[in-house]
Amino acid sequence: MGSQTTVNIDSVVNTLVGSARQAMSKFRNADQPFVDEAVTAIAWSLYKPENAASLAENAVSDTGLGNVQDKITKNQRKTFGTLRDLMRVRTVGVIEKDLELGIVKYAKPVGVVGAVTPSTNPAATPVNKCMMALKGRNAVIVAPSPAGWSTTNRAVELMREGLAIIGAPRDLIQILPAPVSKAMTESLMKAVDLVVVTGSQNNVRGAYSSGTPAIGVGVGNVPVIVDETADLQRAADLIGMSKTFDNGTSCSSENSVIILDAVYDDMMRAFAEAGGYLAKGDERDRIVDALWSAPEKLNRQLIAKDAEVLIEHCKLSAPADTTRFIIVEESGTGSAHPLSGEKLSLFLTAYRVPDFAAAVAKVRAILDYQGAGHSCGLHTTDLSRGQFMAAQLDVVRVLVNQAHTFGNGGGFTSGFPFTLSMGCGTWGGNSISENLNYRHFINVTHLSTEIPEDKPSEEALFGAFLKKYHPDYQV
């Protein structure tokens, strides 16, 4: 299909969209129990242990990214958590009543959703989006990364089988045929009712310029502070666990750690206990030269690879049998200091700063370079510092004493809704400043009935202002 004309590509897309609209017409009037059955059916298609395992194996085989065991965990954990969230809410009929305002809210579908998904999560992300979309009684057409098409196609087949079992239309979930091209994805974006993009910023920008309502996500590049009050070993264990999950493929994975001078050496010892290796001498330069194939372009041969691959490629003296991640010291930020950016790998940048104020300034500088709006973190026993960061930094999420990979995108102890798509607000060029969730897949009709007049006096609204700035004016 790579040589097909634009007319032929549009024809393929229009056929898919037509089938999606037919399926939606049969699903639109489904009641809440049947909608919840449909969501549960597609959740089970990925959560089922043998499916979670086979899709994880396919994903690593197809893309060369991450590792099988962590992808199994991701497939099941994200699906389980999202299902928990979705089973607790209504999306059919009346979803809210505000008697004081005389407003009753009715949920309606948004339409056919174009779901653009990345190679890093070719099974978990499509299923996650399809669960949310079907909760709103929508249909979905998945546009996968070409590298992950085979895995995503199998996930779609399994979801369609799950829908058929409960008697729901299979075509509520479809996929672009291989070979997926940029032109085909762009055609889909223009033909659907809502585009939801997780993946490259080129795709995000394409979605926003498609003329279709779109939701995109920003770049991850999480910096975390370790202050002088932190439980250092716990912080090291959490950061190490988060950094190494699926070989650093998560946009929520810690990329930089900013450590106060008073505990820097102790923290490095704690990192060593957690499997971290501190690069020495000219190893730092070899890492930089190897990790970036061009300015701001990561070397795909090293991203999301096992530690032993990095050790061998960069000729490090790290012990391959005990090293889980590699720490590289840095002082600067910006394009001249690529280690301050996102690395999608088991490399963690370490900064040494004199005090908490300098640490916050370093977080701001890192996010100004990459990761604007996404998130940052803090390990401390002084919770007021977390409040200060939340008040002062332009990020959507500030996590305190947590492993980012397991808290940012929804966790059983974090309170965020489970998702694989995290909005970064206007700071990151996004239309949402929260985790993607079911609310983004419903339209709401508001029924208004008359209430007692709610009209304050001019004195109540203008009195204090006029008294302060225009004392001679009488209301």
Active site residues: 251
Query: What element of type H or E holds 239?
Result: helix 232-244
Contact (CB, 8 A) for 287 and 205: no
Token duo for residue 188:
């889909």
Backbone dihedral angles phi then psi of residue 275, each to the nearest 5 degrees: 95, 15
Supply 127's token pair: 């299923």
- How many C-beta neighbours within 10 Å does residue 48 have? 17
Q: How far apart are CA 42 and CA 292, in angstroms?
A: 39
In angstroms, what is the C-alpha Rg of the chain? Answer: 24
Residues 6+ apart with CB under 8 A from 188: 13, 16, 17, 114, 141, 143, 176
Sign of CA dihedral 178, 110, 195, 58: negative
Q: ∠ CA 52-421-346 to the nearest 5 degrees?
A: 70
> How many whole angstroms separate alpha carbon 2 and alpha carbon 173?
23
Q: Which contiguous run of DSSP H or E holds residue 237?
A: helix 232-244
Q: With b meaning 16 or more CB within 10 Å and e meaning fewer, what string describes 225-245?
A: bbbbebebeebbbbbbbbbbb
Beta strands 194-197 and 214-216, pairing class: parallel
Judge whether 261 and 353 are in contact, CB under 8 Å: yes
Beta strands 297-298; 292-294: pairing state = antiparallel
- Taking the C-alpha atoms of residue 312 and residue 11, their distance in angstroms, rounded to an integer, is 48
Residue with tokens 């002084």: 382
**Interhelix angle 232-244/264-273, nearest 10 degrees:** 50
Nearest to 386 by CA among 402, 370, 369, 362: 402
CA distance 174 to 379: 43
